[in-house]
Structure 1
């Protein structure tokens, strides 16, 4: 399946590694900023509520930018939205590095979150141009999903080591370097403008896509599963800090999650022909539910690493299946809008959830956000069944 730009040229297909590498670099800048900012806030004596607030800020800018990013990608293709994202990431990381205060970190979180929204929609759309059938869509989007997984695997570990051995400024400096690397990689992708639609009709608003029950159910499932990812990102630094773990140990726990997500996405690339998207989604929901319920009782760094790895396998398999299904249930010329709508929905939850996680952890137990998400996953089995019936 391809979008409105038509079949991909051989040159465009050869540039696929550069597309993925661009995503890795942009996402790594955000991931380094997120880990370093979280640990800086805890090191300065701020509470869990502040951590939740900062994590929510990564999703504020995408709320306003996601639909615009989808239209921009449908209209201009790859380079313009990626350039906007690179500039936002660079500005946010520089603000944190230069000022290193709570307000500067808040601004940096806003800008880095917006950078991911704008760049990722264009990158996902560009990758969709390179797939010709449903199996290839799963393979392509497994590689796309490997970008954030790889940056999440490496960034927390590198940031933790830099903080422990050189200090917070060096971790923030790494976040400044990565957007420049991303733009250098993006220039290797051939420029090509999307072909205009022949009927000259005025583009319909993205909200019109919600009339499709399959897309509505898919978005509900995606919101819950992405919120589980946020719950893990919130709980690990808080629990690790409370247990007296070092920044390097916390980075290893977070890295084990991302490493497992990377491995499962590589497996999807290999076995895409044998996977049913909806069965894989429901299996991931079941495994994640069980692990979220028992995570609080896992012992020490090693136990947390094992639990995070199992969660990484379950949640890491989700994005390729969701993106492949999304491209099958939406019109090709509106893939950018659909991707922007998905980004808006998941980031809307990402704003509310960490704030709720912070309040819930403060009022009860540090692992309470995971218990909350386990209950929501159980409820999400209903739209998963409905999605199956609408697809059959």
Structure 2
């Protein structure tokens, strides 16, 4: 009896001390498996479409399909998460990713790639939005940069591993079997979703009825500017993941080398996000955001002038360092200005805007690539990204980090 009492006491102590962090750890573990599948599949899809003799316009349209479904469902998904929690969106998102990766294996055609990308985009949106919202709201303002940064580290790990696995698998097993192999990765987040309980902080019906309207949300100071900057960042990464493999292939690099270059970007993501909380404390979120965004623009602009693998590896790494730290900063900035019961909806607006950019930009750049080639469109995107960095300078963080450190702002 004494030993049983001790075990019960120890178990109770662990739950009290680690309960909150353990819940957050489940979301951390889910994250890389979602990103492995997506960031392996996206460059593989454009290369597979090219092998199936798709035109550049068709490849651009396939890429656009990835963003159509998220654009439609993002805000509704955010509202659902605010009200009911994260378990069902993570399970359905993982299941959808599994189906989207199985389709090219069983039905290898250009038309099926359109359908696969429609499902892939919507499924990733569901799972990623749920994880982002859960991580951001499971911590205090003081620790939010660190928690979101940790989430970003796990996502970067998936972005690092995914392209390397995809490149190696494609070279040794072909495209179709590689898609099937990647699909099995999704069994992990599907299984872990059953261990996620409904959040106690989800909105009640009365709070939903009192929630701020969409028009009023966009009147929140800084919201539209942060959303716009986030859209530019994600569209830049989208251009890189879709068109850079085609550019690298055009200058004679093999699939494994392309996978390593994509992995270099993700490795830089991991590296730079380790220092994110310290950089934010020293310089503030907005300063870090626009400076690193500008560094990404410069790196992007260098790529069309490079042809050696080692130089492209360095440029990819610098690009990953520049843009890697900016994504989690936009998440934190938006979460901090959100009404407490509409955080999922606000992050849904961010993701919907990101997908709008990812839908429009590939379509425009597909036509530009037909006129100018692959290299020039990368340089054009660098100019757009630099303009976005200058726009980011005007963002005003709701709560100043210096005020927190001096104790003039109460941390919730």
* Both structures adopt the same fold (TM-score exceeding 0.5): yes
Q: Which structure is larger by alpha-carbon Rg, 1 or 2?
A: 2
Between 1:84-93 and 1:316-325, the stretch displaced more is 84-93
Q: 1:304 pairs with 296, 305, 312, which one?
A: 312
Summarize the Cα distance change of 1:221–1:77 in structure 2 as closer, same or farther, 3 Å threshold. Answer: same
Shift of residue 224, structure 1, vs aligned partner: 1.3
Q: Which residue of 1 aligns with 2:116?
A: 108
Summarize the Cα distance change of 1:171–1:37 in structure 2 as closer, same or farther, 3 Å threshold. Answer: same
C-alpha contact 1:159 1:171 (8 A) present in aligned 2: yes
User: How far apart, in 1, do the equivalents of 2:258 and 2:144 lie?
Assistant: 34
Summarize the Cα distance change of 1:173–1:199 in structure 2 as closer, same or farther, 3 Å threshold. Answer: closer
User: How far apart, in 2, do the equivalents of 1:170 and 1:102 lie?
Assistant: 16
User: How far apart, in 2, do the equivalents of 1:196 and 1:115 lie?
Assistant: 23
Pairing of 1:199-348 with structure 2 (within 5 A): 200=207, 201-269=209-277, 273-348=281-356
Pairing of 1:50-69 with structure 2 (within 5 A): 50-69=58-77
Shift of residue 197, structure 1, vs aligned partner: 4.5
Cα shift readout 1:60-100 (whole Å, capped 9, x = no counterpart): 11011101110110011110111221221122122222111
Gaps of 5+ in 1: 1-7
Summarize the Cα distance change of 1:77–1:195 in structure 2 as closer, same or farther, 3 Å threshold. Answer: closer
User: How far apart, in 2, do the equivalents of 1:117 and 1:389 lie?
Assistant: 26
Shift of residue 311, structure 1, vs aligned partner: 0.3
Between 1:263-272 and 1:78-87, the stretch displaced more is 263-272
User: How far apart, in 1, do the equivalents of 2:17 and 2:127 lie?
Assistant: 22
**DSSP-derived class of the 1:367 partner:** helix
Summarize the Cα distance change of 1:305–1:162 in structure 2 as closer, same or farther, 3 Å threshold. Answer: same
C-alpha contact 1:256 1:308 (8 A) present in aligned 2: yes
Pairing of 1:39-58 with structure 2 (within 5 A): 39-58=47-66
C-alpha contact 1:256 1:305 (8 A) present in aligned 2: yes
Aligned residues: 384
Between 1:14-23 and 1:186-195, the stretch displaced more is 186-195
CA RMSD of aligned residues (A): 2.2
Q: Which residue of 2 aligns with 1:5?
A: none
Q: 2:184 pairs with 173, 177, 180, which one?
A: 177
Gaps of 5+ in 2: 1-15, 401-412
Confirm whether residue 76 of structure 1 aligns to residue 84 of structure 2.
yes
Q: Which residue of 2 aligns with 1:4?
A: none
C-alpha contact 1:235 1:367 (8 A) present in aligned 2: no
Q: 2:175 pairs with 168, 178, 187, which one?
A: 168
**DSSP-derived class of the 1:388 partner:** coil
User: How far apart, in 1, do the equivalents of 2:279 and 2:32 lie?
Assistant: 23
Summarize the Cα distance change of 1:83–1:350 in structure 2 as closer, same or farther, 3 Å threshold. Answer: same
Summarize the Cα distance change of 1:195–1:234 in structure 2 as closer, same or farther, 3 Å threshold. Answer: closer
C-alpha contact 1:150 1:259 (8 A) present in aligned 2: yes
User: How far apart, in 1, do the equivalents of 2:59 and 2:231 lie?
Assistant: 21
Shift of residue 195, structure 1, vs aligned partner: 4.5
Confirm whether residue 158 of structure 1 aligns to residue 196 of structure 2.
no
Shift of residue 305, structure 1, vs aligned partner: 1.0
Cα shift readout 1:160-183 (whole Å, capped 9, x = no counterpart): 111111222221112321221111
User: How far apart, in 1, do the equivalents of 2:295 and 2:280 lie?
Assistant: 20
With normalisation by structure 2, the TM-score equals 0.87
Cα shift readout 1:133-168 (whole Å, capped 9, x = no counterpart): 24x111111122223321221111111111111222
User: How far apart, in 2, do the equivalents of 1:52 and 1:121 lie?
Assistant: 25
Shift of residue 199, structure 1, vs aligned partner: 5.3
